[in-house]
Amino acid sequence: MNSSQEQVKSGIVALIGPPNVGKSTLLNSLLGQKISIVSPKPQTTRNRILGIVNGPDYQIIMLDTPGIHKARSPLNLEMVKIALGSLAEVDAIVFMVDVTMPLPNTGNTPTRCLEGIDKPVLLLLNKMDLIDKEKLLPIIATYKELFPFQAILPLSAKASDGTALVIQELCTLLPTGPRLYPEDIPTDASERFIVAEIIREKIFLQTGQEIPYSTAVTIESFKENAAKKLITIHATIYVEKDSQKGIIIGKNGSKLKQLGQAARKDVEELLDQHVLLKLWVKVQKDWTSDPRFLRELGF
How, if at all, do strands 230-239 and 216-225 pair? antiparallel
Beta-carbon contacts of residue 183 (< 8 Å; ≥ 6 apart): 3, 54, 59
Kindly give the parts of the chain with pLDDT less than 50.
1-3
This prediction's pTM: 0.78
The SS3 call for residue 61 is strand
Fold of 8-177: Rossmann fold (3.40.50)
pLDDT per residue as tens digits for the range 100-132:
998 887 666 778 888 888 899 999 999 999 999
Check residue 190 and give its pLDDT: 87
pLDDT per residue as tens digits for the range 14-38:
998 888 899 999 999 999 988 887 8
Name the CATH superfamily for 191-296.
K homology (KH) domain (3.30.300.20)
Cβ-based neighbour number of residue 188 at 10 Å: 14
Check residue 89 and give its pLDDT: 80
Check residue 278 and give its pLDDT: 98
Check residue 3 and give its pLDDT: 47
Q: Is 162 left (phi over 0), alpha (psi -120 to 50) or beta?
A: left
Check residue 107 and give its pLDDT: 63
Instruction: State the Cα–Cα distance between residues 198 and 24, nearest whole angstrom.
Output: 13
In the chain, CATH 3.40.50.300 sits at: 8-177
Q: What is the 3-state secondary structure (H, E, C) of 159-202?
A: CCECHHHHHHHHHHHCCEECCCCCCCCCECCCHHHHHHHHHHHH
In the chain, CATH 3.30.300.20 sits at: 191-296
